[in-house]
Amino acid sequence: MKNKKTVVVGMSGGVDSSAAAYLLKQQGYDVIGVTMQIWQQEDTCTIEHEGGCCGLSAVEDARRVANQIGIPYYVMNFREEFQKNVIDYFADSYVNGQTPNPCIACNRYVKWEALLKRSISIGADFIATGHYARVEQLSNGRYALRRSATAAKDQTYALYNLTQEQLKRTLMPVGEYTKEEVRVIAEKIGLLVADKPDSQDICFVQDGNYAAFIEEHTGKKASEGNFVTSDGTVIGRHKGIIHYTVGQRKGLGLALEKPLISIPTTAAIAYNIWDTDKFVCPIMDARRNQVYTGVYCYTDHRLDTVWEQDTMSIEALAEGLNCLDHEVIFLGDGVAVYREKLEALLTIPFSFAPAHVNRQRAAAVGALAEVYYKEGKIQTAEEHEPEYLRKSQAERERAERESVKHADVVKKQENGEKSE
């Protein structure tokens, strides 16, 4: 008779799923580690560098972790399921003018439906992941998703369409911890992935060029055509529907003779607090101990900029605010993440705004846009350039790889070796 319950843990090679496997073993489960093989290309040189949960590096990291914590580990092939339910869905949605969410589709149909079915077939009782969420059985017997212990990392939104049977058989142990606590657990037991960065981009489109990926996947080039107003007036040319998303303005190349007003994200959040004598400091969690932030004040009922929006560490922000020597009020989703650190680092008077003003509001954006319009702060679509405070993960990883290659070349040259 089997005494212990068996759980299959989907291991992506990251710190969250690795910690989940360790925690479940500590709780007395028979744990089996599994990485889902979902990459579509057979070229080893290509898939070796694919990030997130899709590349061979994920398999290598997950295998090492499984060996460290002493659990069996396997790689299971789910390429067909991933192709049908994620990649095909992603491409078809863009072709039909829709905006897909491939991560939600992957969770529902691959990480849960397909993995759970395969796990039950080998005798497992549960599956587990490193998602920041919790499952609770209600008094009426039904199962419900609960938010994780940390609002900053909560992932219940990505799991909303799981079925009752899937929730019944799901364990998510890291949902009881903050991200920082999970990393501490991993560090204490010496996991090699304790400091591994989070994966944030779509795993199967490494360079972020969705249109090129879709054209390659479908084998069809998007049809070009005209932008036409409701009265039939042709106002420009477009490159094909897959190059655009709902609400997009930049890149259309249209001469609509309508002004474009650019509102910095942090300024829009700051405008949620009206006419205070304190400095207003929005902080948005940029991960890796960094925040998107800016500092604003009101002069004669007008929002002025003290610091332009930028990306910085929470320590650098606190140090800069201390130097300003002025009372400040914080708001934004980064408050929940960095509140304790700010309390420890700040030497100036400070406070935190009510939670209901922590998100960007359409009303505040519109009101601030009206102010900018009256002040003449307008652009044409051709003049406008989006402001990216930080490169995408794909760009950062590419830069890191190029830096390593360059260092290798320099080292070989210094040693008198020939570069390949």
User: pLDDT grade, residue 397 (50/70/90)?
Assistant: low
**Which of 53, 106, 281, 297 is labelled catalytic?**
106
pLDDT at 395: 53
Residue 408 CA from chain centroid, whole number? 31
pLDDT at 257: 65
Whether the pLDDT of residue 408 is over 80: the answer is no
pLDDT at 379: 81
Q: Are residues 327 and 402 in the same domain?
A: no
Whether the pLDDT of residue 135 is over 60: the answer is yes
Of 142 and 257, the one with more pLDDT: 142
Contacts of 251 (CB under 8 A, 6+ apart): 243, 244
Share of the chain above pLDDT 90, in %: 52
Q: Are residues 60 and 131 in the same domain?
A: yes
Whether the pLDDT of residue 47 is over 50: the answer is no
Contacts of 120 (CB under 8 A, 6+ apart): 169
Whether residue 64 lies inside any domain: the answer is: yes
Q: Are residues 137 and 285 in the same domain?
A: no
Can you tell me the distance from the alpha carbon of 57 to that of 380, in angstroms, rounded to the nearest whole number?
45
Question: Which burial class, exposed, middle or buried, applies to 402 when counting CB atoms under 10 A from its CB (0-12, 13-18, 19+)?
Answer: exposed
Give the domain CATH number at 124.
Answer: 3.40.50.620
Q: Are residues 113 and 47 in the same domain?
A: yes
Whether the pLDDT of residue 414 is over 70: the answer is no
**Which of 54, 203, 281, 297 is labelled catalytic?**
203
Of 122 and 408, the one with more pLDDT: 122
* Domain boundary pick from 188, 211, 238: 188
Q: Are residues 294 and 398 in the same domain?
A: no
User: pLDDT grade, residue 204 (50/70/90)?
Assistant: confident
Q: Are residues 51 and 178 in the same domain?
A: yes
The stretch 182-205 carries a mean pLDDT of 84
Total structural domains in the chain?
A: 3
Whether the pLDDT of residue 387 is over 50: the answer is yes
* Domain boundary pick from 152, 171, 188: 188
The per-residue pLDDT for range 285-304, each reduced to its tens digit, is 887 778 999 999 999 999 99
Angle at 342 between CA 339 and CA 346, to 5 degrees: 150
The per-residue pLDDT for range 104-119, each reduced to its tens digit, is 888 888 989 899 999 9
Can you tell me the distance from the alpha carbon of 241 to that of 92, in angstroms, rounded to the nearest whole number?
12
Is 203 labeled as catalytic in the residue annotation?
A: yes
State which residues form the domain around 303: 265-374
Q: Are residues 326 and 417 in the same domain?
A: no
The per-residue pLDDT for range 2-35, each reduced to its tens digit, is 578 999 999 989 999 999 999 999 999 999 999 9
Of 47 and 105, the one with more pLDDT: 105
